Amino acid sequence: MNDSVNKWIDAHLDEYIEDLKNFVSINSVQGSYEQGKPFGDGPFDALNFAIDLAAKYGFAINNYQGYVGTADLDPSLPRSLDMLAHCDVVPAGEGWTVTEPFKPVVKDGRIYGRGTSDDKGPLLCAMYAMRAIKECGVPLKKGVRLIMGSDEETGSTDIAKYYAVEPEAEMTFSPDAEFPLINIEKGQFRAEIAKTFEESTALPRLVSLEAGVALNAVPQKAVIRLEGFDMTLAEEPMNLVSKECGVSCEQTGVQEITITGVSAHASTPELGKNAGLAAMMLVSKLPLAPCEQLDVIGKILKLFPYGVTDGQGLGIKMCDEESHDLTCTLDLYHVTTKEVSVQFDSRTPVMATKENCEDVAAANVSALGLDFISKGMVPPHRVPGNSPFVKTLLNAYETVTGLKGEAVAIGGGTYVHELKNGVAFGAVMPGIDTRMHGADEFFELDNIVTATKVYAEAIIELCS
Same domain, 373 and 448: no
Given pLDDT bands bounded at 50, 70 and 90, which one contains residue 144?
A: very high
Q: Whole-prediction pTM value?
A: 0.74
d(CA 356, CA 82): 36
Same domain, 178 and 225: no
d(CA 454, CA 121): 14
Q: What pLDDT is recorded for position 412?
A: 75
Q: What pLDDT is recorded for position 407?
A: 93
Given pLDDT bands bounded at 50, 70 and 90, which one contains residue 322?
A: confident
d(CA 334, CA 337): 10
Catalytic residue among 152, 158, 331, 457: 152
d(CA 314, CA 358): 10
How does pLDDT run across 431-455, given as a tens digit for each residue? 999 999 899 999 999 999 999 999 9
CATH number of the domain residue 225 falls in:
3.30.70.360
Given pLDDT bands bounded at 50, 70 and 90, which one contains residue 414?
A: confident
Same domain, 115 and 45: yes
Using N-to-C axis directions, what is the helix angle for 41-56 and 13-24, rounded to 10°? 160
Q: What pLDDT is recorded for position 318?
A: 98
How does pLDDT run across 189-227, given as a tens digit for each residue? 999 999 999 999 999 999 999 999 999 999 999 999 999
What whole-number percentage of the chain has pLDDT above 90?
94
Nearest of 114, 131, 122, 29 to residue 83 by alpha carbon: 122
**Tally: H helices and E strands in the chain:** 11, 26
What whole-number percentage of the chain has pLDDT above 70?
100
Residue that finishes a domain, picked among 322, 345, 378: 378
d(CA 158, CA 253): 42
Cβ contact 459:129 at 8 Å? yes
The domain total for the chain is: 2
Which CA distances in Å does 30 have to 43, 57, 124, 192, 330? Answer: 6, 27, 20, 21, 22
Same domain, 54 and 151: yes
Q: Is 88 noted as a catalytic residue in this protein?
A: yes
Same domain, 176 and 228: no
Same domain, 344 and 400: no
Q: Is the confidence at residue 290, as pLDDT, over 80?
A: yes
Instruction: Work out the burial of residue 362: count CB atoms within 10 Å of its CB; fewer than 13 is exposed, 13-18 middle, 19 or more buried.
Output: middle
d(CA 364, CA 119): 37
Q: What pLDDT is recorded for position 417?
A: 83
Q: What pLDDT is recorded for position 418?
A: 87
Q: Is 433 noted as a catalytic residue in this protein?
A: no
Output Rg (C-alpha) for the chain, integer angstroms. Answer: 23
By residue range, what is the domain housing residue 284?
Answer: 188-378
d(CA 150, CA 86): 6
Contacts of 251 (CB under 8 A, 6+ apart): 231, 234, 238, 257
Same domain, 364 and 428: no
Given pLDDT bands bounded at 50, 70 and 90, which one contains residue 128?
A: very high
Cβ contact 390:181 at 8 Å? yes
Same domain, 229 and 309: yes
- What is the DSSP pairing of strand 319-320 with strand 264-265? unpaired
d(CA 454, CA 6): 10
Same domain, 459 and 373: no
Q: Is the confidence at residue 155, as pLDDT, over 90?
A: no
Residue that finishes a domain, picked among 356, 378, 400: 378
Handedness of CA 100, 106, 109, 110 (dihedral sign): positive
Given pLDDT bands bounded at 50, 70 and 90, which one contains residue 410?
A: confident
Same domain, 28 and 142: yes
Same domain, 267 and 409: no
Same domain, 170 and 194: no
Catalytic residue among 19, 74, 88, 345: 88
Q: What pLDDT is recorded for position 463?
A: 98
CATH number of the domain residue 414 falls in:
3.40.630.10
Q: Is the confidence at residue 1, as pLDDT, over 90?
A: no
Nearest of 325, 301, 324, 331 to residue 314 by alpha carbon: 301
What does the buried/exposed string (b/e) look like for 103-136 if buried means 16 or more CB atoms within 10 Å of the residue's CB? ebebeeebbbbbbbbbbbbbbbbbbbbbbbbbeb
Residue that finishes a domain, picked among 378, 407, 441: 378
Given pLDDT bands bounded at 50, 70 and 90, which one contains residue 83?
A: very high
User: 298 by DSSP, 3-state: which?
Assistant: helix
Measured in degrees and rounded to the nearest 5, phi and psi for residue 314 equal -85, -10
The alpha helices in 142-234, defined as continuous H runs, are 157-165
d(CA 70, CA 67): 10
